[in-house]
Amino acid sequence: MRIWGGLLLAVAMATPQAARANPEVIDQLEPEGGEWEVEWQGYFGGEGEQGFEALYGLNDHLAIGAEVEFEGPDSGFEFEEVSAVLLYRFTDHSDKPVGFGILGEASITRGGGFAGFSTRAIVERKRDGWWLQGNAILRHEREDGAKGTGLAYAVSAQAEIAEEIWLGFEASGQPLRVSGNPALAPEGPHYVGPSLTIEKEIGDDGEVEIGLAWLERVAGSSAPSGPRVFVQFIF
């Protein structure tokens, strides 16, 4: 019994923890050429997760930048990974019926190892008092020699209830594991809840966007329900 107990303990310690246990983030088709986008977003359910992103628009189609992610603040802040980010916008929702783009990320861990990559298709429509956003995500994660590949999504629908104030709902989840370790490619977690976004112009060319959402876990056994906040600056 002691031998089997020791083996089970060793397996448990070697099993990777779920790398994407929190709700998905909705990425947008920003910034435009010559602009900076700087964003902080935090999820406060369970252990919590914080992300800081900076992107620069090389032109009206291509933007590059980086993102840093931390776990916390429930048990203190711990650096998780840093990612190189590339966004290519094919169409802009300001002059086309629907904006569409592709965003790719490649990540390394705090130890310098390759943590994985993700590719997401982004669609956005902001017209006639409605703001619709959607992300379809393919993600590959690696940890301690294990691998996992899965599909995820994030969607938002909001109506303009006052000038530059949007109210609606947000939903996200990981519906399918394509291959690999279930801890690195979870299958089944889904979240949904109300969301509020406030936009405010700053100066001649700047803008701040503040978002609040409560994300209720309706399926799966990932991070518990909780609030999410983000603050985004465009300048």
pTM of the predicted structure, to 2 decimals: 0.88
Range(s) of the domain holding residue 98:
2-153+175-186
Predicted local confidence at residue 8, as pLDDT: 34
223 phi, psi to nearest 5 deg: -60, 145
CB 128 within 8 Å of CB 94: no
Residue 161 lies in a domain: no
Predicted local confidence at residue 2, as pLDDT: 44
Tens of pLDDT, residues 22-36: 999 999 999 999 999
Residue 226 lies in a domain: no
Rounded average pLDDT over 111-130: 96
Distances (CA, A) of 132 to 28, 99, 168: 11, 10, 10
Predicted local confidence at residue 6, as pLDDT: 45
Element (H, E) at 7: helix 2-14
**pLDDT of 13 over the 60 cut:** no
Predicted local confidence at residue 229, as pLDDT: 98
Nearest to 101 by CA among 89, 119, 85: 89
Predicted local confidence at residue 103, as pLDDT: 98
Model confidence at 205, pLDDT cuts 50, 70, 90, reads confident
Predicted local confidence at residue 203, as pLDDT: 87
% of the chain beyond a pLDDT of 70: 91
Residue 116 lies in a domain: yes
Residue 233 lies in a domain: no
**pLDDT of 176 over the 60 cut:** yes
Number of domains in the chain: 1
Tens of pLDDT, residues 43-84: 999 889 999 999 999 999 999 999 999 998 887 889 999 999
88 vs 86: CA distance, rounded Å: 7
> What rounded mean pLDDT belongs to the chain?
91
**pLDDT of 7 over the 50 cut:** no
Residue 99 lies in a domain: yes
Residue 169 lies in a domain: no
Tens of pLDDT, residues 139-165: 999 999 999 999 999 999 999 999 999
CB 67 within 8 Å of CB 75: no
Distances (CA, A) of 232 to 6, 9, 88, 136, 172: 48, 43, 19, 21, 20
**pLDDT of 3 over the 70 cut:** no
Predicted local confidence at residue 84, as pLDDT: 98
Rounded average pLDDT over 191-199: 98
E-strand stretches of the chain: 36-43, 49-57, 62-71, 78-91, 99-109, 114-127, 130-143, 146-162, 165-180, 190-202, 206-219, 226-234
Residue 43 lies in a domain: yes
Residue 105 lies in a domain: yes
% of the chain beyond a pLDDT of 90: 81
